[in-house]
Amino acid sequence: MTTNKKDIFKIISTLIFFAVNLNNIVYGGNVYIDQNKKPLLDYQVIGEKVEKIYGVKLNRPVTVIFKETPGGRFNCESNEIFINQNDPLQKKLVTIAHETSHLMHCQITNNKSTNEELRFVDEGLASIIGQRITGDEDSYKAQTKEESALERDKGNVSFELVKKWKKYFGTGNIATSNWKAYRVGSSFIYYLIYKYGEGTPFDFLKYLERSSFQEALLKTTGNSEQEIEVAWLEYIYEQGKI
């Protein structure tokens, strides 16, 4: 039995179709499932909004694991998010949107968004999307302006600092970590939007898949890392006066 090139092409096309549509085929298009693979329909709208904002479909369902410890977490390898089961509903929704954004970043960047030097971008954008989806972005943006301006005045904002995320933010301990680091990360995202347009952060993520931080910045904005840093700090200063 021989297989010609046309047959091989058909086989490859079929495999690609099933891989891309696996979520629809196996899980009926549900974004979220529990540990028993049962669809979590109450949160479906959050996942759909995340996909709409990023302009990309999640390539596999997200497993939501409810726990009793504070805060949220994500695991890109297993495509899981961890949510505090004792949080009120609104906070759960914010956390689900936030953690799902992390998984989306991993998918778009081929997991580079979890590299330490990019974590300030990862957390900054996820924080904005979490608040945007659940309707409280205005107050979050105001908090970002205020806290970022204070951190800038202290000399606590630069690419050199934020790229060393483990030192800048901390371990994630609720009591001891520097949670203002999230707002500093968000201020960078808001600067990109302000200067270059609403879609710029998402273009930046796409470039990161095959580019370094510096190269992705240059491709997205046309400016060097040094030029962007000066402009970002000036943006924080000006926004802090509003």
117 token code pair: 């030097």
pLDDT score recorded for residue 27:
47
pLDDT (0 to 100) of residue 8: 63
Q: Determine the Cα–Cα distance for residues 205 and 105; give it in Å rounded to an integer.
A: 7
Is residue 42 exposed (0-12), middle (13-18) or buried (19+ Cβ within 10 Å)? exposed
Helix 44-54 / helix 119-133 crossing angle, nearest 10 deg: 120
Q: Mean pLDDT for each consecutive 10-residue tract of the chain (242 residues)? A: 58 51 53 95 95 95 94 96 95 97 98 97 98 95 97 97 97 88 98 98 97 97 98 96 80
Edge-to-edge order in the sheet of strand 32-33 = 32-33, 62-67, 80-84, 73-75
CB 98 within 8 A of CB 147: no
pLDDT at residue 11, as a whole number: 57
Alpha-carbon distances, residue 239 vs 47, 119, 127, 179 (angstroms) = 31, 23, 19, 20
Q: Do β-strands 73-75 and 80-84 pair in parallel, antiparallel, or remain unpaired?
A: antiparallel
* Residue 26: predicted pLDDT: 46
All structural domains of the chain? 5-109 (3.30.2010), 112-241 (no CATH)
Q: What is the pTM of this model?
A: 0.88
Cα–Cα distance for residue pair 217/185, rounded to 1 Å: 15
Is the CB of residue 203 less than 8 Å from the CB of residue 195?
no
The pLDDT score that the predictor gives to residue 1 is 47
Q: Say how many C-beta atoms besides its own lie within 10 A of residue 185's C-beta.
A: 26
